[in-house]
């Protein structure tokens, strides 16, 4: 049985990937400091509580578990926060990743799947954006991830047997259909989470950040992907590495987007609640449009998404959100 060490496996995306790996028969160890993740979210394998700032702890986990592949999710992900607190992002997302990579190299673990982001593209000239587009992130979050991608590329040149797959996530949302796991980080500022928390009465109103973008309705457009489809992309990526695939980078999105207003309308429809919405100014660090060209992952990894349906995405997130406080 192949062994996969998953950093950030107790977090939102990581826990859905741990579920998918467990269901597929992999032996999983989650490495997580529980800063935003939860012990109950780890449905398969053991949880090792540790921080990526501490190399000795990483070394213990890796040398005991002896993973075949490492999947690295542990990171901070809020764009606006990264603009206010850039050092927090460079420290956790970039510098701490160096600790993980150093321990991997010294322990002979040479395969990595890295959680990257569409934020590395910044404001792309062409939509949908493909993987060959020059990287030009416009916020520290995107820069912190781009720097790590750069490091991985250099490592793969330096060591013939070091291979990585970098997956650039577009906007991940939704929850486990059986309602076992979902976005549980209370401070999450993501649009769908905030809209549903507003519907639930946790916030008085949902703010729409910017209505003067050069998009048809003036609000930003994003490519929303269901977290279980994203988890499945990771299964394809790990199989690709196990079968000897070369280092590569893939977009993870559906190839079409929705505006903030469309998301808000769909959230109102799904919940049946006409929650308050307030149009306000732009949020710092937001590109107007981010939509994936996903042809590469479909062709090379044979990934076939199943949940390309905004209502389904929001419905699963809503079922989860309603359960959260009960
Ligand atoms: N957004 C919004 N109100 C909110 C949260 C987000 O209008 O309360 C907008 C945000 O400005 C962006 C889009 O929704 O245009 C998606 O933001 P999110 O934080 O979900 O993901 P990001 O694209 O920043 O990773």
CATH number at residue 303: 3.90.25.10
The mean pLDDT of 70-80, rounded to a whole number, is: 95
Q: Which of 115, 203, 222 to mutate to test the pocket of ligand 1 (most atoms within 8 A of CB)?
A: 222
- Residue 239 in 3-state DSSP? helix
Verify that 157 and 26 share a domain, yes or no.
yes
In a domain, 178, yes or no: no
The mean pLDDT of 136-164, rounded to a whole number, is: 97
Say yes or no to pLDDT of 325 above 80. Answer: no
In a domain, 179, yes or no: no
Q: Which two tokens stand for residue 301?
A: 């990894």
Tens-place pLDDT, residues 87-140 = 999 999 999 999 999 999 999 999 999 999 999 999 999 999 999 999 999 999
In a domain, 184, yes or no: no
Domain containing residue 140? 3-173+224-252
Q: How confident is the model at residue 1 (pLDDT cuts 50, 70, 90)?
A: confident
Taking CA atoms only, the protein residue closest to ligand 1 atom 25 is 171
Choose one of 252, 267, 295: the last residue of a domain: 252
Burial 101-123 (b: 16+ CB within 10 A, else e): bebbeeeebbbbbbbbbbbbbbe
Query: Looking at residue 37, what is its pLDDT?
Result: 96
Q: How confident is the model at residue 42 (pLDDT cuts 50, 70, 90)?
A: very high
Verify that 35 and 159 share a domain, yes or no.
yes
Q: What is the residue whose two structure tokens read 């780890």?
A: 42
In a domain, 212, yes or no: yes
| Neighbouring residues of 257: CB distance < 8 A, sequence distance ≥ 6 | 221, 222, 223, 224, 289, 290, 291
Strands (E), the chain: 3-7, 27-32, 46-49, 69-72, 111-117, 163-169, 171-173, 206-209, 221-222, 224-226, 248-252, 258-259, 277-280, 289-290
Taking CA atoms only, the protein residue closest to ligand 1 atom 23 is 171
In a domain, 139, yes or no: yes
Query: Looking at residue 97, what is its pLDDT?
Result: 98
CA neighbor of 241 nearest in space, from 24, 71, 13:
71
Question: CA quadruple 251, 257, 260, 266: dihedral positive or negative?
Answer: negative
160 CA → ligand 1 middle, Å: 40
Verify that 140 and 240 share a domain, yes or no.
yes
Query: Looking at residue 93, what is its pLDDT?
Result: 97
In a domain, 64, yes or no: yes
Cis link prior to 128 (omega < 30° from 0)? yes
Q: How confident is the model at residue 196 (pLDDT cuts 50, 70, 90)?
A: very high
Verify that 201 and 128 share a domain, yes or no.
no
Say yes or no to pLDDT of 326 above 70. Answer: no
The mean pLDDT of 291-309, rounded to a whole number, is: 98
35 CA → ligand 1 middle, Å: 22
Taking CA atoms only, the protein residue closest to ligand 1 atom 19 is 190
| Neighbouring residues of 291: CB distance < 8 A, sequence distance ≥ 6 | 127, 128, 129, 170, 221, 222, 223, 253, 255, 256, 257
The mean pLDDT of 179-191, rounded to a whole number, is: 93
Verify that 133 and 195 share a domain, yes or no.
no
Active-site positions?
A: 141
Query: Looking at residue 13, what is its pLDDT?
Result: 98
Report the chain's mean pLDDT, rounded to a whole number.
97
Query: Looking at residue 285, what is its pLDDT?
Result: 84
1 or 107, which is more confident: 107
Q: Determine whether the shortest distance from the Cβ of 147 to ligand 1 is under 6 A.
A: no
Verify that 128 and 112 share a domain, yes or no.
yes
Verify that 269 and 286 share a domain, yes or no.
yes
Contacts 24+ apart (CB under 8 A), 215-219: 215/259, 215/288, 215/289, 216/259, 217/259, 217/261, 217/262, 219/259, 219/260, 219/261
Verify that 247 and 273 share a domain, yes or no.
no
Verify that 301 and 282 share a domain, yes or no.
yes
pTM for this one? 0.97
Q: Determine whether the shortest distance from the Cβ of 191 to ligand 1 is under 6 A.
A: yes
Say yes or no to pLDDT of 188 above 80. Answer: yes
Taking CA atoms only, the protein residue closest to ligand 1 atom 21 is 190
Query: Looking at residue 284, what is its pLDDT?
Result: 86
Q: What is the residue whose two structure tokens read 């994003």?
A: 222
Q: Which of 84, 215, 283 to mutate to test the pocket of ligand 1 (most atoms within 8 A of CB)?
A: 283
Tens-place pLDDT, residues 213-236 = 999 999 999 999 999 999 999 999
In a domain, 185, yes or no: no
Asked whether the beta carbons of 223 and 256 are under 8 A apart, the reply is yes
Verify that 18 and 40 share a domain, yes or no.
yes
Of the chain, the percentage scoring pLDDT greater than 90 comes to 96
Q: Determine whether the shortest distance from the Cβ of 173 to ligand 1 is under 6 A.
A: no
Q: Which of 80, 173, 191 to mutate to test the pocket of ligand 1 (most atoms within 8 A of CB)?
A: 191
Q: Determine whether the shortest distance from the Cβ of 143 to ligand 1 is under 6 A.
A: no
Say yes or no to pLDDT of 191 above 80. Answer: yes
Q: Determine whether the shortest distance from the Cβ of 190 to ligand 1 is under 6 A.
A: yes
- Residue 208 in 3-state DSSP? strand
Query: Looking at residue 317, what is its pLDDT?
Result: 98
In a domain, 186, yes or no: no
Can you tell me the distance from the alpha carbon of 103 to that of 153, in angstroms, rounded to the nearest whole number? 17
At 129, which CATH number?
Answer: 3.40.50.720
Query: Looking at residue 187, what is its pLDDT?
Result: 87
Verify that 151 and 237 share a domain, yes or no.
yes
Say yes or no to pLDDT of 243 above 80. Answer: yes
Verify that 282 and 228 share a domain, yes or no.
no
Number of domains in the chain: 2
């Amino acid at each position: 049985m192949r062994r996969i060490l998953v950093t950030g496996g107790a977090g939102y995306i990581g826990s859905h990937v741990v579920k998918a790996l467990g269901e597929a028969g992999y032996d999983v160890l989650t490495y997580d400091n529980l800063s935003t993740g939860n012990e109950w979210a780890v449905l398969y394998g053991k949880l090792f509580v540790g921080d990526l700032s501490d190399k000795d702890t990483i070394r213990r986990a890796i040398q005991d578990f002896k993973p075949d592949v490492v999947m690295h999710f542990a990171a901070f992900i809020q764009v606006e926060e990264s603009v206010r607190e850039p050092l927090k992002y460079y420290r956790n997302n970039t510098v701490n990743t160096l600790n993980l990579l150093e321990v991997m190299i010294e322990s002979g673990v040479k395969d990595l799947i890295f959680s990257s982001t569409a934020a590395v593209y910044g404001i792309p000239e062409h939509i949908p954006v493909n993987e060959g587009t020059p990287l030009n992130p416009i916020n520290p979050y995107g820069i912190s991830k781009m720097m790590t991608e750069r490091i991985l590329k250099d490592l793969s040149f330096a060591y013939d047997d070091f291979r990585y797959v970098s997956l650039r996530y577009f906007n991940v949302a939704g929850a486990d259909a059986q309602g076992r796991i979902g976005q549980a980080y209370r401070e999450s500022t993501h649009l769908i989470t905030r809209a549903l928390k507003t519907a639930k009465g946790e916030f008085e109103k949902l703010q729409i950040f910017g209505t003067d973008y050069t998009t048809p309705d003036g609000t930003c457009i994003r490519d929303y992907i269901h977290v279980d489809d994203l988890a499945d992309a990771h299964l394809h990526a790990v199989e690709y590495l196990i079968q000897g695939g070369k280092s590569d980078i893939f977009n993870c999105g559906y190839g079409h987007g929705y505006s903030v207003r469309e998301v808000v309308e769909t959230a109102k429809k799904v919940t049946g609640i006409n929650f308050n919405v307030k149009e306000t100014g732009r949020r710092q660090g937001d590109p107007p449009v981010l939509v994936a060209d996903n042809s590469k992952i479909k062709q090379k990894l044979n990934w076939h998404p199943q949940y390309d349906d905004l209502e389904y995405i929001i419905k699963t997130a809503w079922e989860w959100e309603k359960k959260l406080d009960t």
